Structure 1
Amino acid sequence: MSADRPTLGTLLKGLRAREGWTLKQMSAKSGIPVSTLSKIEHDRLTLSYDKLQSLAQRLGMRMSDLFAETEAEAGPAVTARRSLGDVERAVRVETPNYDYYYLCTELRRKRMIPVVTKIRARSAEQFGDLVRHSGEEFIYVLSGSVVVQTEFYDPVTLSAGQSLYIDSSMGHAYLAAEGCDEAEVLGVMSSPEENLMDAMLTLHDRHRAEAKDAA
């Protein structure tokens, strides 16, 4: 059953099997050492956002394709899909402001993106420009306190157990409240568009580039 869990290791192993590559061949194509690939496939190691992006580029894939099953595996649309996931086996993406843990990543064409987020940014200056993307989103604070800044409303502070639902096309930012080193929230983003995951990864990439320019 563990091979069916939504981990980066499982997905890379499946990709390698589909292409008929040995670990050595995939190492040559990706530029990642064989020993590192082996650890990833056995879920003993993950990759940073930069390395995930580099891996996708070297393999001629989009980032989101690394987080999804193949078309053949997905099969026709049905109403009985399900996916079990936990933070330990989530696909992690690090950015200057947040650590994202994407859940249930093996399901393709999801209309909802569930993600656990650890928030470190504490000020609007540190965060940068407000984020905007298609759809709507819901967040539930798991621990710590979060200041939610939005384009058309005054900032609101949420504590553990509180939640918020917003229009994602409205500029927004989530910040760790004063006195809180790190806050953790469960978020669910939805959109009628099927490329929401691609849009989120593009935002992560932009934030990383902005942080490097600021440094």
Structure 2
Amino acid sequence: MDDALQHVGPRLRAARTRRGWTLEDLAGRTAMSVSTLSRLESGKRQAGLELLLPLTRQLGISLDDLVRTAAPDPRVRRATMQRNGLAVTPLTPEGSPVAAWKITYPPGGSVERLRVHEGFEWLYVLSGKLRLRLGEQDLVLDRGEAAEFDTRVPHAMAASGPRPAQVLSIFDETGARMHTHSPDPI
């Protein structure tokens, strides 16, 4: 039996019992016999649309709730990119509305060229120290510090000191595109 269909019966039973209904209660609400409903829940009867539609309506669930397959593998397996001297590791699947990245800034980087683009950025320093130029501000963020800013404010980042800075960065879609697909440095 198809994996999705073998779970229909137990999912029907779970939805019914969550409502506190007996087999008789649900059978009466759907004009279905108790025997048919019992056989559906136990997997002894194949569930067709003519039976499932009235059941899902009464139970307040969707057909997808009954036949969904197991959740896809949640692991993100995307390669680290080298981008203008930075190691950029994607932490979210491609096409996510919010993109998270681990960015490693090598020591000795420059923050002289400020950039401006649409979007927002949130960052968290995992290790090392990060120099953040944001408008007129020149800040150094230590491990464990975070920042959030509108990327329409001129900004630039680099490691501060003799060690690389590892940063968790979260961008909206526009910011991710600018930081990972733009021909200009990050």
Report the TM-score when normalising by structure 2: 0.53
Equivalent residue in structure 2 for 1:188, among 163, 170, 173: 170
Please list every run of 5 or more consecutive structure 2 residues that lacks an aligned counterpart in the other structure.
1-70
- One-letter amino acid of the structure 2 residue matched with residue 167 of structure 1: D
Q: What is the RMSD of the two structures over their aligned residues, measured on CA atoms? A: 2.7
- Give the match for residue 153 of structure 1: 136
SS at match of 1:129: coil
Q: Residues 107 and 162 of structure 2 are in contact (CA less than 8 Å); yes or no, is this contact kept in structure 1? A: no
Deviations 1:18-62 (Å, cap 9, x if unpaired)? xxxxxxxxxxxxxxxxxxxxxxxxxxxxxxxxxxxxxxxxxxxxx
Q: Residues 108 and 162 of structure 2 are in contact (CA less than 8 Å); yes or no, is this contact kept in structure 1? A: no
SS at match of 1:207: coil
SS at match of 1:170: coil
**Superposed structure 1 runs of 4+ greater than 6 Å apart:** none
- Give the match for residue 132 of structure 1: 116
Identity over aligned pairs, percent: 18
- One-letter amino acid of the structure 1 residue matched with residue 120 of structure 2: E
Larger Rg: 2
Equivalent residue in structure 2 for 1:84, among 40, 49, 74: 74
- In structure 2, how many angstroms separate the alpha carbons of the residues matched to 1:186 and 1:162? 11
Farther-moved stretch of structure 1 (129-138 vs 157-166): 129-138
Change (3 A) 1:83 1:184: farther
- One-letter amino acid of the structure 1 residue matched with residue 171 of structure 2: M
Offset at 1:83?
7.4
Offset at 1:156?
0.7
Change (3 A) 1:202 1:128: farther
Change (3 A) 1:90 1:134: same
More helix by share: 1
Change (3 A) 1:121 1:96: farther
Farther-moved stretch of structure 1 (167-176 vs 135-144): 167-176
- In structure 1, how many angstroms separate the alpha carbons of the residues matched to 2:107 and 2:168? 17
- One-letter amino acid of the structure 1 residue matched with residue 128 of structure 2: G
- One-letter amino acid of the structure 1 residue matched with residue 99 of structure 2: I
- One-letter amino acid of the structure 2 residue matched with residue 175 of structure 1: A
Offset at 1:121?
5.2
SS at match of 2:115: coil
Deviations 1:57-88 (Å, cap 9, x if unpaired)? xxxxxxxxxxxxxxxxxxxxxxxx997346xx
- In structure 1, how many angstroms separate the alpha carbons of the residues matched to 2:105 and 2:75? 21
- In structure 1, how many angstroms separate the alpha carbons of the residues matched to 2:142 and 2:73? 29
- One-letter amino acid of the structure 1 residue matched with residue 162 of structure 2: G
- One-letter amino acid of the structure 2 residue matched with residue 115 of structure 1: W
